Amino acid sequence: MLTYTTSLNKRDVDKLQLTDEEAEDLAAAGFRFSIFNPKRREYRLSAPYKILHALEKGTLTIMQ
């Protein structure tokens, strides 16, 4: 299982919104995408994946 942890910042915890850098890091690590369009800044991970929010640490972990 692939795992990627990043800063939660002020993003909506109910909606996965990746930055360009995060999407590129995920793709380089082997995560699969159903949509990967850097020109339009559109990224959607292929199912199945899990998201863990550590609000006390301010981190977001994605597992696929």
Domain boundaries, the chain: 3-63
- pTM (predicted TM-score): 0.89
The residues that bridge with 22 in the sheet, in sequence order, are none
Encode pLDDT of 1-51 as tens digits: 999 999 998 888 788 899 999 999 999 999 999 999 999 999 999 999 999
Rama region for 9: left / alpha / beta (φ>0; ψ in -120 to 50; rest): left
H/E stretch holding 43: strand 42-45
Encode pLDDT of 43-63 as tens digits: 999 999 999 999 899 999 999
> How high is the pLDDT of residue 11?
85
